[in-house]
Amino acid sequence: MIYLDHAATSPLLPSVLKEMEAIQRQIFGNPSSLYTPAYEARKILHISRAAIANRIGAQSDEIVFTSGGTESNNLAILGAARASRRGKHLIVGATEHHSVLYAAHALKKEGFRVTELACDENGVYSPEALRASIRPNTALVSLHLANNETGVVEPIAEIGAITRERRIVLHCDAVAAFGQIPIDVQALKIDLLSASAHKLGGPKGTGFLYVRNEISLVPLFFGGSQERGFRPGTENVPAIGGFAKALEHLPPRADSSARDLLESLLLAAIPGARVNGAGAERLPNLLSVTFPGASGERLLAALSAQEIYAATRAACASGEREPSHVLTSMGLSRAEADATIRFSTGNSSKLSDMRITSNAIDFAYRNEKRTMNTELNN
């Protein structure tokens, strides 16, 4: 099997599974209680919180554990908007994950106005366009650190300088970027940052939201004082411990050699193949390629028959009939968006697998073109 969909989820690392099993067996206490087993559970939370905070240049008490990236995004956007005394205007990027876009647009029912910031043909947001979109009542800006379909990295340092100068809360969805590139929330002037464990060899169902100490949030639900009151409920200690364990395997920046090799092989083999976001900085593990005139779904089916697994878009949107909003926002037509495959590498990716994948795509693409020509001639 060749697995090239790490941006959807990554296999659980064996050391993470071992760590979680040990915690599950030995550390059963409720971390909010006041006896020794509870202290042991609380210690896991403390160690894990510190490990994550150190990874992004934050303080430990600024890390709020959640069930994953979607909850973190919703808590950031709904929580910050509802807590704001500044006004009822939000700015979100046009190519954001649906958990950001849908959360922002849900606030329209509460009287908020939402501006979607357009990107250029590479998927990059313009800091100056953002500046021009800010209103006196702008309460929140939500722009991803990097896109989950193309890997395009946004100019968040410049954007953060603008929002901090204007005293506007800046939220960044870093689910795709966390563990792939260095992140320093202080240098980038980020106020809220979302991330998830299962994209980097950790368990599903756990993530975090970085909340800068000066930022106020209204929680999504109520019932306890856990996680500074922002996320009530007993913490998932084994999963959180597994998240921290996964971080031990991550270098400061992921290796791009597998992605780079696959990119060069595909561009050399397939006439007219185009890398989306090629003119921008991209994450080292993500590659979005459009194969002109092809069907991305049929290419994926041909790959799957050889136990090679990739994706046409983000997994959360795979059931939708509409083309990728990320790619159409970058100017691709519906046909071009439907002819696109996303490859995402991870710790299991080998250079030899990239050659096998390229050969399989080349064969499938040429076979499909022959089939299409035959159908047209008939």
Encode pLDDT of 284-306 as tens digits: 999 999 999 999 999 999 999 99
Instruction: Read off the tokens for 282.
Output: 């991209």
Q: Predicted confidence band at 170 (pLDDT cuts at 50, 70, 90)?
A: very high
H-state helical runs in 177-308:
185-188, 237-247, 257-269, 296-304
Token digits of residue 198: 């299962």
CATH assignment of the domain containing 233? 3.40.640.10
pLDDT of residue 370: 73
Round the average pLDDT of the chain to a whole number and report it.
95
How many CB atoms neighbour CB 14 within 10 A?
9
Active-site residue 119, yes or no?
Answer: no
87 and 137 belong to one structural domain: yes
Ramachandran sector of residue 263 (left: φ over 0; alpha: ψ -120 to 50; beta: rest): alpha
Q: Are both 155 and 58 inside the same structural domain? A: yes
Secondary structure (H, E, C), 271-338: CCCEECCCCCCECCCEEEEECCCCCHHHHHHHHHCCCEECECCCHHHCCCCCCCHHHHHCCCCHHHHH
- The pLDDT assigned to 319 comes to 56
Residue 300 CB neighbours (<10 A): 18
**Does 265 lie in the same domain as 227?**
no
Q: Please report, as a single letter, which amino acid is at residue 13.
A: L
Going by C-alpha positions, the residue among 244, 16, 280 that lies closest to residue 122 is 280
3-state secondary structure of 141: strand
Q: Which CATH number do you get for residue 291?
A: 3.90.1150.10
Could you tell me if 371 and 236 lie in one domain? no
The domain boundary residue, chosen from 207, 223, 247:
247
pLDDT at 375: 58
CA geometry: angle 357, 359, 363, nearest 5 deg = 115
The answer to whether residues 113 and 90 touch, using CB atoms and an 8 Å cutoff, is yes
- How many domains does the chain fold into? 2
Residues 6+ apart with CB under 8 A from 90: 77, 81, 104, 107, 112, 113, 114, 115, 138, 139, 140, 141, 142
Same domain for 137 and 115 = yes
pLDDT digits (tens, 9 = 90+) for 229-280: 899 999 999 999 999 999 998 999 999 999 999 999 999 999 999 999 999 9
Residue 97 and residue 230 in one domain: yes
What percent of the chain has pLDDT above 70? Answer: 96
* Closest by Cα among 278, 295, 297 to 339: 295
Q: Give the Å distances, CA to CA, from 35 to 26, 27, 72, 152, 229.
A: 15, 12, 30, 48, 22
Confidence of residue 114 (pLDDT cuts 50, 70, 90): very high
Q: Which two tokens stand for residue 291?
A: 């194969």
Tokens of 251: 């270098």
Do 87 and 128 have their domain in common?
A: yes
The residues, any chain, with a CB within 8 Å of residue 23's CB and separated by 6 or more, are 44, 237, 238, 241, 242
What pLDDT is stored for residue 369 in this prediction?
Answer: 75
Q: In angstroms, rounded to a whole number, what is the distance separating the alpha carbons of residues 93 and 52?
A: 26
Predicted pLDDT of residue 171: 98
C-alpha to C-alpha distance for 147 and 257, rounded to whole angstroms: 20
Bridge partners of residue 115, in order along the sequence: 91
pLDDT exceeds cutoff 70 at 150: yes
The Cα–Cα gap between 117 and 122 comes to 14
Match 């206490």 to its residue by tokens: 29
Is there a single domain that holds both residue 181 and residue 264? Answer: no
The domain boundary residue, chosen from 247, 274, 305: 247
pTM of the model: 0.95
pLDDT per position as a tens digit, 137-147: 999 999 999 99
Residues 264 and 182 in one domain: no
Say which DSSP state 126 is in.
P
CA end-to-end span of the chain, whole Å?
Answer: 37
Beta bridge partners of residue 275, listed in sequence order:
289
In terms of domains, do 116 and 194 share one?
Answer: yes
Residue 150: alpha-carbon gap to chain centroid? 11
Write down which residue in 204, 231, 247 finishes a domain: 247
205-223 pLDDT, tens per residue?
A: 999 999 999 999 999 999 9
Query: pLDDT by residue (tens digit) across 315-362?
Result: 555 556 789 999 999 999 999 999 999 999 998 899 999 999 999 999
Q: How confident is the model at residue 314 (pLDDT cuts 50, 70, 90)?
A: low
- Domain encompassing residue 184: 14-247
Shared-domain flag, residues 178 and 312: no
Which of 316, 348, 362, 372 is the catalytic position?
Answer: 316
Same-domain pairing of 259 and 243? no
Strand 274-275: give its sheet, edge to edge: 274-275, 286-290, 340-344
Residue closest to 3 by CA, chosen among 313, 307, 329: 307
Residue type for position 114: V
